[in-house]
């Protein structure tokens, strides 16, 4: 938030805070799932279990018996994208 202009409209500021928080939480969950795959593959000595974001989301779908994790992460990543748009629009130029 310190990189945004000082005269940021209040509505845009609130949106940036909420979208940034939700988006970063979704990114952390997505990359955390990938990290769990890497750790599992390393501990078991099975490199075929190591994969990217697509495999991590597939694994969570199989574990949770539904697409709720995929929907949650997708909405969170969309929120992060909207935050990036706000950041690009209102970023302070040094």
The pTM (predicted TM-score) of the whole model is: 0.80
The pLDDT of 41-69, averaged and rounded, is: 82
Q: pLDDT higher for 49 or 23?
A: 23
Q: 3-class DSSP state for residue 6?
A: coil
Confidence at residue 92, expressed as pLDDT on a 0 to 100 scale:
83
Angle at alpha carbon of residue 81, lines to 90 and 29, rounded to 5°:
125
What is the rounded average pLDDT of the residues 11-35? 93
């Amino acid at each position: 938030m310190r990189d945004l202009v000082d005269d940021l409209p209040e509505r845009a500021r609130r949106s940036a805070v909420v979208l940034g928080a939700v988006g970063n939480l979704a990114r952390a969950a997505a990359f955390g799932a990938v990290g769990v795959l890497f750790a599992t593959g390393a501990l078991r000595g099975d490199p075929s279990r190591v994969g990217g974001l697509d495999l991590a989301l597939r694994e969570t779908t199989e574990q949770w018996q539904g697409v709720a994790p995929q929907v949650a992460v997708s909405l969170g990543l969309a929120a992060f994208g909207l935050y990036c748009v706000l950041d690009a629009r209102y970023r302070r130029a040094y």
